[in-house]
Structure 1
Amino acid sequence: MRRSLLLLPLMLAACGPATEPANDTTANPAVDAGNATALPDDEIADDIVADEAPAPAATASPAPLDPPAPGEPGGLDNDTAPLDESPQPEASAQGAARVVERYFGLIEAGRYARAYQLWEPGRAGMNRQAFVRSFDRYAEYHANIGAPGEIEGAAGSRYVTVPVQPYGRLKAGGRPFNMRGTVTLRRVAEVPGSTDAQRRWRIYDTDIKPRP
């Protein structure tokens, strides 16, 4: 792992299901909410090493890419605010960013089906099988993760956006790609009748698009 200026500590191999490299016109499969059942709370853990299936075997690839630095075209914003590394409550904006880190960490470990469970049911834009297959085209997939925005509220829900910069290489010809966008997370506010599971951050949407 590397750490760049003003990014969250983890920069992990990553992929979001709404993310497509430049010049790829493949449409997303239809939503299959039936395959998006949330995991029990005790199965969504920070430990991302073990899984029910082994990760795909590593293959030889070109030298690691150097993505655009913060402030450069295609890079994350060059925010000069100091990084807050103190322990953060799960309900905080930093807690939402940790979910994004966990999501990309699961992708890095080849645990695609488990990463899929971090999406809010019905919001991933594809069923679990299509989500897993969507990673077949990549030889390398990495991401820089930026600092989260402020928490916003609406109708008993809370939302946070986290900037993400995916980059890497396609299997076809080793072509590089670079993208930038945000991942939006949602949770239910502390209202009477809400459960612990509903008050956990879940991935709600992403607007990641290819960049030059």
Structure 2
Amino acid sequence: MPATSKPLLTLCALAGALVLSACGERPAADAAPSTSQDQAEALPGPEQFDGSITGMSARPGPGNVPLSGEPPPPVVAEPADEVDLLNPETGMLPGAPADADAQTGMPAEPTPQDAVAVVRDYYAAIGAGSYARAYAMWSDGGRASKQTPQQFADGFADTADVVATLGEPTREDPGAGQRYIQVPASITATRTDGSVHRYAGTYTLHRTVVDGATDEQRAWRIASADLREVRE
């Protein structure tokens, strides 16, 4: 090629580059930064929180859980209240007595066997010479015996020993605020002269059940005795 051709080619190449630049075309190496910038402007930015770099709120949530430092101590369950332990069917605590009187704090009602125990204790007191105690086991503070305390004690002056054998009480008879029951008894009394006398019969015991009655009035007490000597 003639020497004059090389300058002509250089001039043409330079002119072509200027044309491309005027048309807005750029080298391929500049295309990638332009695409990343456009996408960054199109995408929404991350939501800003309260300053925590983890995306969690910097304020403690329920239970006062800290975001840093030592974890809180474990929660210790409180013992259940007694009311939660009540039997839903009976309304009572486990192991509590079923007697309604025990639940209300009132003394339990005397039973027929309690009446038998009164007569047994009555003769035990007589055998021990505790006549005042035996006298008090009669109703109305002993006055139901129809004797004074001294007359009552004198009636056992010649008694050396006494043994009582008691039977099963009869059915309790209700009255107007009163209760009565009979206890069969066989008595063997040994006198100071050595003689032995036997008696058989019943003791009638009484108690009061009206509102406002005292514990003493509600307890079984001897109301009367019907004893006859048994001849052999």
Coarse TM-score class (shorter-chain normalised) = 0.5 to 0.7
Q: Does 1:140 align with 2:161?
A: yes
Q: How many Å apart are 1:98 and its aligned residue?
A: 1.1
Q: Larger relative CO (CA 8 A, sep 6+): 1 or 2? A: 1
- Partner secondary structure for residue 98 of structure 1: helix
Q: How many Å apart are 1:90 and its aligned residue?
A: 5.0
Which residue is 2:134 aligned to? 115
Aligned pairs for 1:95-110 (under 5 A) are 95-110=114-129
Which residue is 1:192 aligned to? 211
- Partner secondary structure for residue 139 of structure 1: strand
Q: How many Å apart are 1:147 and its aligned residue?
A: 1.6
User: What is the RMSD computed on CA atoms of the aligned residues?
Assistant: 1.5
Q: Of 199, 202, 222, which aligns to 1:179?
A: 199
Higher Rg of the two aligned structures: 2
Q: Report if aligned partners of 1:90, 1:96 keep a CA contact under 8 Å in 2.
A: no
Percent identical among aligned pairs is: 36
Q: Report if aligned partners of 2:199, 2:229 keep a CA contact under 8 Å in 1.
A: yes
Gaps of 5+ in 1: 1-88
Query: Counterparts of 2:121 and 2:160 in 1: how far apart (Å)?
Result: 21
State the one-letter code of the partner of 2:144. Answer: R
Q: Report if aligned partners of 2:120, 2:164 keep a CA contact under 8 Å in 1.
A: no
Q: Of 133, 138, 151, which aligns to 1:130?
A: 151
Query: Counterparts of 2:183 and 2:118 in 1: how far apart (Å)?
Result: 10
- Partner secondary structure for residue 162 of structure 1: strand
How many residues are aligned here?
Answer: 122
State the one-letter code of the partner of 2:154. Answer: R
- Partner secondary structure for residue 207 of structure 1: strand
Runs of 4+ in structure 1 displaced over 6 angstroms? none
Q: Of 170, 186, 203, which aligns to 1:165?
A: 186
Q: How many Å apart are 1:109 and its aligned residue?
A: 1.7
TM-score relative to the length of structure 2: 0.50
For residues 54-112 of structure 1, give each alpha carbon's deviation from its aligned partner in whole angstroms, at most 9, with x where no partner exists: xxxxxxxxxxxxxxxxxxxxxxxxxxxxxxxxxxx651111111111111121122111
Q: Report if aligned partners of 2:116, 2:169 keep a CA contact under 8 Å in 1.
A: yes
State the one-letter code of the partner of 1:186. Answer: H
- Partner secondary structure for residue 203 of structure 1: strand
Gaps of 5+ in 2: 1-107
State the one-letter code of the partner of 1:100. Answer: V
Q: Of 215, 219, 222, which aligns to 1:203?
A: 222
Query: Counterparts of 2:225 and 2:148 in 1: how far apart (Å)?
Result: 16
- Partner secondary structure for residue 123 of structure 1: helix
State the one-letter code of the partner of 2:138. Answer: W
Q: Does 1:152 align with 2:173?
A: yes
Q: Which is further off, 161-170 or 89-98? A: 89-98
Query: Counterparts of 1:184 and 1:208 in 2: how far apart (Å)?
Result: 11
TM-score relative to the length of structure 1: 0.54
